[in-house]
């Protein structure tokens, strides 16, 4: 529950991480079932914690794209029912727009236009954000998302799922120059990204190291070095291309959002690099970086003010651009 698109009155998150952990990744069918189990409880807790009832609400918003269709359908069906029962306007929101909005929830003001780097398990996107929450997409990943490669690399190293936080922690103790992993598309004349090459390099390196007995003999140190070197490659490309966008557009600020925005090395490196060209960096607190309802409610308020109303024919779609 968010008031005026600014004040987070409640932000209840139901994590499914434990359910998917034993499979080493998200199982779509299980995700949908867990959504069904959780949704009514989450809605009532959100209202209770915010100290409001349905009568106090002005509109209901729901993520309807892009994402796993089963999970989206559960949310959309629930939101439609509530909108119908309580006679409230309904708004379907793009998940990525929620991430782009998240930093704003924690700030008094944000300069426009600014550059937003969205890095999550499903997306890597560089966007120029204009007044009125209008977007110009500068570039995105051509293959894997940044978070996806964190999760895959963690899997190769036997570190469980999801992998971002574990690798982040291990990397702090490792040597980022121990292994020179590639930086695909770092120097291309655009804002596109590619991470599958880094992922494959790490995979071959780990297999070779394992065959050579390195991961047993000198296990912990080797894993920390691989984690740090992998992270250095990913963060280097993300920071370099984001800065390129800031310089080219003359934007005064850059925001960092999505699950991977919780990464300590990415936060620190971006801040350092941006300071050199006098640009501000804003990132939301951790609980607004990873998926949450407040960011969806926040951007929905702005869209509501702009006149968006979707009505009960709203559908969920697995894809969806923010153009
Ligand atoms: O935005 P999010 O919660 O869900 C999606 O919309 O995908 O992002 C989840 C992703 C996962 O891939 C996870 O490994 C990654 O964010 N992540 C991190 C960190 N914390 C979460 N990646 C790098 N460093 C972290 N500290
Ligand atoms: Zn997300």
pLDDT 10s digits, 153-170? 999 999 999 999 999 999
**Mean pLDDT for the stretch of residues 86-104:** 97
3-class SS of residue 10: coil
Q: From atom 23 of ligand 1, which residue's Cα is the shortest distance away?
A: 164
The yes-or-no verdict on residue 234 having pLDDT over 70 is yes
Q: Is 67 in the pocket of ligand 1 (CB under 6 A)?
A: no
Q: Nearest Cα to 185, choosing from 177, 169, 196?
A: 196
Ligand 1: which atom is nearest the Cα of residue 265? 24
Q: Is the CB of 150 under 6 A from ligand 1?
A: yes
pLDDT over 80 (residue 217) = no
250 class by beta-carbon count within 10 Å (0-12 exposed, 13-18 middle, 19+ buried): exposed
> Nearest CA to 296 among 102, 78, 33?
102
pLDDT in tens, 277-320: 999 999 999 999 999 999 999 999 999 999 999 999 999 999 98
Q: Which residues are within 5 Å of ligand 2 (an ion), measured at CB?
A: 120, 291
The 3-state DSSP class for residue 114 equals strand
- The CB of 98 under 6 Å from ligand 1? The reply is no
**Which ligand has the shortest distance to the CA of 296?**
2
Q: How far is the CA of 75 from the centre of ligand 2 (A)?
A: 15
Hey, whose CA ends up nearest to atom 3 of ligand 1? 290
pLDDT over 80 (residue 96)? yes
Report the predicted TM-score, pTM, of the whole model to 2 decimal places: 0.94
CA 69, distance to chain mean position in Å, is 18
Mean pLDDT calculated for residue range 120-144: 96
């Amino acid at each position: 529950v968010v008031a005026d698109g600014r004040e987070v009155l409640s932000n209840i998150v139901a994590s499914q991480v434990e359910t998917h952990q034993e499979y080493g990744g998200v199982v779509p069918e299980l995700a949908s079932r867990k959504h069904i189990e959780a949704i009514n409880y989450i809605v009532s807790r959100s209202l209770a914690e915010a100290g409001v009832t349905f009568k106090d609400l002005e509109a209901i918003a729901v993520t309807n794209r892009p994402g796993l269709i089963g999970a989206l359908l559960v949310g959309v069906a629930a939101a439609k029912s509530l909108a119908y029962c309580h006679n409230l306007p309904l708004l379907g929101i793009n998940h990525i727009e929620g991430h782009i909005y998240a930093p704003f929830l924690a700030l008094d003001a944000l300069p426009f236009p600014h550059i937003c780097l969205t890095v999550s398990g499903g997306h890597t996107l560089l966007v120029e954000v204009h007044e009125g929450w209008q977007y110009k997409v500068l570039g995105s990943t051509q293959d894997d998302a940044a978070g996806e490669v964190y999760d895959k690399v963690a899997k190769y190293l036997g570190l469980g799922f999801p992998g971002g936080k574990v690798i982040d922690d291990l990397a702090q103790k490792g040597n980022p120059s121990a292994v020179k992993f590639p930086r695909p598309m770092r120097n291309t004349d655009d804002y596109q990204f590619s991470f599958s090459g880094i992922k494959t390099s790490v995979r071959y390196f780990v297999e070779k190291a394992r065959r050579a007995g390195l991961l047993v003999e000198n296990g912990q140190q080797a894993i920390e070095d691989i984690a740090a070197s992998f992270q250095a490659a990913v963060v280097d490309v993300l920071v370099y291309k984001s800065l390129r966008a800031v310089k080219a557009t003359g934007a005064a600020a850059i925001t960092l959002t999505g699950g991977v925005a919780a990464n300590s090395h990415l936060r620190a490196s971006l801040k350092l690099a941006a300071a050199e060209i006098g640009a501000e960096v804003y990132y939301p607190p951790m609980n607004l970086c990873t998926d949450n309802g407040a960011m969806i409610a926040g951007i929905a308020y702005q869209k509501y003010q702009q006149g968006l109303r979707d009505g009960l024919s709203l559908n969920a779609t697995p894809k969806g651009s923010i153009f």
